[in-house]
Amino acid sequence: MVLVAVWPILVSIFISVAPAVLLVTASIYLWHLRWQLSHDRSWLLPLPPGSMGLPIVGETLHWLLQGCEFHSSRRRQHGHVFKTHLLGRPVVRVSGAALLPPLLLEETSRVGVSWPRSAHDMLGPHSLANSSGHTHRARRKVYARIFSQAALESYLPQIMKLVREAVTGWCARPGSVSVYPESKRLTLRIAAAVLLGSLPSQEELTDLFTNMEQLSENIFTLPIDIPGSGYRKGIRARDKLHQYLGKVIEARRQAGGCEDQPGALGILARSSKEQGMDMGVQELTEAAVELMFAAFATTASAATSLVLQLIKHPAVVAKLREELQTRALGAGALLRDISRLRYLDNVVKEVLRMLPPVSGGYRVALHTFELAGFQIPKGWSVLYSIRDTHNTSPIFQDPEVFNPDRFDEDQMESKNLRFHYLPFGDGVRRCVGKELAKLILKVFAIELVSVSHWELTTRTFPKMLLVPIVHPADGLQVRFFSSA
């Protein structure tokens, strides 16, 4: 009797749900069929293995939720070359030193630069990241002056001052410090001071931090321009940054020219004029946002990873302190003094090997080509992996072990690290600001081990997340104490 009474309800539910289930199933089937048929039929080679996920969104949600494990799990399942669908684009992901040279050295002949649309729109068409060919080469020459030895030497006193103030403030706090957010505040202050030649007001810094945070959190997001979307938030933050920096640049121009002003912005304006480019207000504004974003997000990530490894490895801290005592750096340390700290250099290299802030780089196939026995169709994005390449390189024994000594000159003498170690990328896209980033990390490490000690305030070490930049899930909660 009960079954007789329930049966009409079950039939009704089935009739209501069945069309939706069939529609979803058909949509998923047609989505995957579309990509199977999108290969270049003049090539006999198959597409790489992998899944294109759900219609429209692909595997973007899995990527955002799984972080580092997303790519690692698929590499273990499919190998060093696999396909997926991220941020609205079909993507082939590649890792391993043997497979990277065509992607890093053959720009314009095999691949071109192609960041996701969200990153392209937020950084702007005039940014170094989004330029290519002759324009990219010319802009790199202009940017290079910002990171010359003379320029780095001029930034060093300000960097040391700001780092010292930050670490002293952390030690004075009675409770724990959330290292990642605080590192971002520090790197933003450094980026603003280096760029402008002086520190903006506290109110301006607060606004810069809020908008840069919004930009960095949403730079890799689905390009859906609707109220409340990450894309809309990122674009709004970009516009506010452009408004502030545009006013600064315009005011400097009216006061006699940007090229006569201090800081990296003045060097950039002078360099562009000397190279015959003479960047306008919009170009300088996009350059300023790009430079601040790079210093803010990636350097803060590396600084947080540095603290994490120092907590985990007290023997490394002891060895660093011994080196610093031997060298006896003073308050007026010069660039050459810091460059002579070999063990410190090894520590920074090892941090960047284990936890590179940027997990990889985007390219686009300019025409169909072969890689590892698979065809990479024209127009598809190609994402090369830095992190997995480091983890699978035969040059690095026991890659899961933090071991700065692996970078000793006698250990590396017979090894060619190129394409095996690339925390700053390689080829024509190698990070132009890598020396400044390493200098900030070294000054930060020197200050930490010289004036403080610390303890983790959580029971376990945090999970590391991959998107948008490598960072700890809980921010890394640490209590700092003064060694004085």
Q: Average pLDDT of 311-336?
A: 85
Q: Is residue 124 part of a domain?
A: yes
Q: Is residue 12 part of a domain?
A: no
435 SS3 class: helix
Are 375 and 368 contacting, i.e. CB atoms less than 8 angstroms apart?
A: yes
- What's the pLDDT band for 54 if we cut at 50, 70, 90? confident
Q: Is residue 199 part of a domain?
A: yes
Q: Is residue 15 part of a domain?
A: no
Residues 181, 201: Cα–Cα separation, whole Å: 20
Q: Which residue has the higher pLDDT, 129 or 208?
A: 208
Residues 251, 389: Cα–Cα separation, whole Å: 46
Q: Is residue 17 part of a domain?
A: no
Tokens of 59: 């595997």
Quick one: pLDDT at residue 323?
A: 93
Distance between alpha carbon 273 and the CA centroid of its chain, in Å?
30
Residues 81, 63: Cα–Cα separation, whole Å: 17
DSSP state at residue 295: I
- The strand order across the sheet containing 477-482 reads 177-178, 477-482, 452-456
36-45, 306-315, 357-366, 467-476, range with the lowest pLDDT: 36-45
Give 443's contacts (C-beta < 8 A, 6+ positions apart): 156, 159, 160, 163, 338
Mean per-residue pLDDT of the chain:
87
103-107, 202-206, 251-255, range with the lowest pLDDT: 251-255
Q: Which amino acid is at 483?
A: S
Say yes or no to pLDDT of 25 above 60. Answer: no
Q: Is residue 25 part of a domain?
A: no
Give 18's contacts (C-beta < 8 A, 6+ positions apart): none
**pLDDT tens per residue, range 186-237:** 999 999 999 998 899 999 999 999 999 999 989 888 888 999 999 999 999 9
Q: Which amino acid is at 97?
A: A
Quick one: pLDDT at residue 301?
A: 95
Half-sphere exposure of 380 (CA within 13 A, CB side): 28
Beta strands, E only, 345-447: 360-365, 369-371, 374-376, 381-385
Tokens of 195: 């760029």
Among the ranges 64-68, 180-184, 384-388, 411-415, which has the highest mean pLDDT value?
180-184
Residues 182, 197: Cα–Cα separation, whole Å: 22
Distance between alpha carbon 29 and the CA centroid of its chain, in Å?
35
Say yes or no to pLDDT of 386 above 70. Answer: yes
Residues 29, 25: Cα–Cα separation, whole Å: 6
> Which of 476, 471, 483 minimizes the C-alpha distance to 447?
483
Quick one: pLDDT at residue 427?
A: 86
Are 147 and 155 contacting, i.e. CB atoms less than 8 angstroms apart?
A: no
306 SS3 class: helix
Say yes or no to pLDDT of 315 above 70. Answer: yes
Q: Average pLDDT of 416-433?
A: 89
Say yes or no to pLDDT of 1 above 80. Answer: no
Q: Is residue 29 part of a domain?
A: no
Residues 358, 138: Cα–Cα separation, whole Å: 24
Residues 289, 282: Cα–Cα separation, whole Å: 11
- What's the pLDDT band for 314 if we cut at 50, 70, 90? very high
Q: Is residue 24 part of a domain?
A: no
CATH number at residue 287: 1.10.630.10
Are 289 and 242 contacting, i.e. CB atoms less than 8 angstroms apart?
A: yes
Distance between alpha carbon 467 and the CA centroid of its chain, in Å?
9
CB count within 10 Å of CB 301 equals: 25
Which residue range(s) make up the domain with 191? 38-482
Tokens of 233: 């938030």
Say yes or no to pLDDT of 414 above 80. Answer: no
Pairing of strands 89-94, 381-385: parallel
Quick one: pLDDT at residue 374?
A: 95
Say yes or no to pLDDT of 21 above 60. Answer: no
Say yes or no to pLDDT of 121 above 80. Answer: yes
Domains contained in the chain, number: 1
pTM, rounded to two decimals: 0.87
Distance between alpha carbon 246 and the CA centroid of its chain, in Å?
25
DSSP state at residue 299: I
Q: What percentage of residues in the chain have a pLDDT greater than 70?
A: 88
237-246, 324-333, 464-473, range with the lowest pLDDT: 324-333
**pLDDT tens per residue, range 131-164:** 888 888 888 888 889 999 999 999 999 999 999 9
Residues 239, 164: Cα–Cα separation, whole Å: 32
Quick one: pLDDT at residue 33?
A: 53
Crossing angle of helices 179-196/434-451, nearest 10°?
130
